[in-house]
Amino acid sequence: MNRRSLLLATPALTLPAIARAQGAFPDRPIRVVIGYPAGGGTDTVGRPIMQRLSEHLRVPVIVENRGGANGNIAMEYMTRVEPDGYTIFMGDAGNLGITHALYPNLPFDTQRDFVGVAQLTAGPVVLVIAGNVPASTLAEWTALLKARPDAFNFGSAGVGSGPHLFYESWRRAAGVSMTHVPYRGTGPALAGLLAGDVHMMIGNYGVFRGAHEAGRVKVLAISTPARHPNLPDIPTAREAGTDWGVIGFNGIIAPRRIPADRRQALEDGFRHVIGLPEIQAQLLSFGSLADFAPGAELDRRMAAERESWTRLVREANIQAE
């Protein structure tokens, strides 16, 4: 699925010619590839950030959704683009830390072929059940799953996606079993949850916010050790009785051969955007936390996440479909 959206082209079109030296980077549109369909967690978080980046850099920033195979299709595509800084990739824990745990023979390697540009967010995911499920707390939901093993379904953005592995880590901590139903992205999975085809999801709160406020889903717990400032009534999983916690993140990577000065220019641009109070407030409203880190730190995080999730995949004997 390809869907392109031009974000805030007007500033670049009206910028006086003298304001930017000829040949300076960037002097033409930047594409940000996302490996999921529009409407998913990464897409929801990314679009306002890219709008502000467009304003700051004074060039159009184009979000391009290339969904499929947990983002692997998009990441393989990224290995073929010109490493000039004009095409970059925005991913999540599934793309940047988990994918190689399930797909050891991919035609790309995140550590070999890419380099971190900037971490943008780091924060909780939420555990959500359909509004018609007869449970109101995490303890009640866990008890229901134990009383009726394999009677319920869990929906994710795909095999090996962040939500899938987050679920697997929670399932093992809670001692329950469910049938996993993979979709081609979080947006389609949410549609399945609202239609009653699946009963539970885990993901960024921003994905579920509208359905939650409309009473169509129940948010039972949050994954971080402390409650979220914008979700004070949602208990942590540990408060709700399950010794479980994960931290999701979003980051920007680029082809490894990107010129160092262009990588730095992009890193500086994202540092500025993530520092904006209005962006921090907007991310909070999505249930995310603005958490900028430079590209080198993102590289270290990707390596550490890959190691830990590979260990879980092996222990749980999870197989890619």
pLDDT, one tens digit per residue, over 251-301 is 999 999 999 999 999 999 999 999 999 999 999 988 889 999 999 999 999
- Alpha-carbon 157 to chain mean position: 10
Q: Which of 129-143, 147-161, 170-184 has the lowest mean pLDDT?
A: 147-161
Domain boundary among 189, 222, 255: 222
Same domain, 256 and 110: yes
In a domain? residue 235: no
CATH code, domain with 171 = 3.40.190.10
What percent of the chain lies above the pLDDT cut of 70? 92
Same domain, 117 and 145: no
Same domain, 251 and 119: yes
Q: Using 50, 70 and 90 to split pLDDT, how confident is the model at 250?
A: very high
The whole-number pLDDT of residue 2 equals 44
Where do we find the tokens 């980046």? 53
In a domain? residue 75: yes
Helix-, strand-, coil-residue percentages of the chain, each rounded to 5: 45, 20, 35
State how many domains the chain has: 2
Query: pTM for the whole thing?
Result: 0.79
In a domain? residue 237: no
Same domain, 133 and 82: no
Q: Where are the beta strands (DSSP E) in the chain?
A: 2-7, 30-34, 61-66, 87-92, 114-123, 126-130, 153-156, 179-182, 200-203, 217-222, 248-255, 290-294
Closest among 64, 26, 59, 60 to 42, alpha carbons compared: 64
pLDDT in tens, 169-208: 999 999 999 999 999 888 899 999 999 999 999 988 888 9
The whole-number pLDDT of residue 7 equals 41
120, two tokens: 């943008």
Same domain, 109 and 14: yes
The whole-number pLDDT of residue 39 equals 84
The whole-number pLDDT of residue 119 equals 98
> In which element (H, E) is residue 112 found?
helix 110-113
End-to-end CA distance of the chain, in Å? Answer: 20
Same domain, 17 and 118: yes
Same domain, 187 and 87: no
Q: Which of 94-108, 123-137, 142-156, 199-213 has the lowest mean pLDDT?
A: 94-108
CATH code, domain with 271 = 3.40.190.150
Domain span at 20: 2-123+247-316
Check if the beta carbon of residue 315 is closer than 8 Å to that of residue 169.
Answer: no
In a domain? residue 232: no
In a domain? residue 55: yes
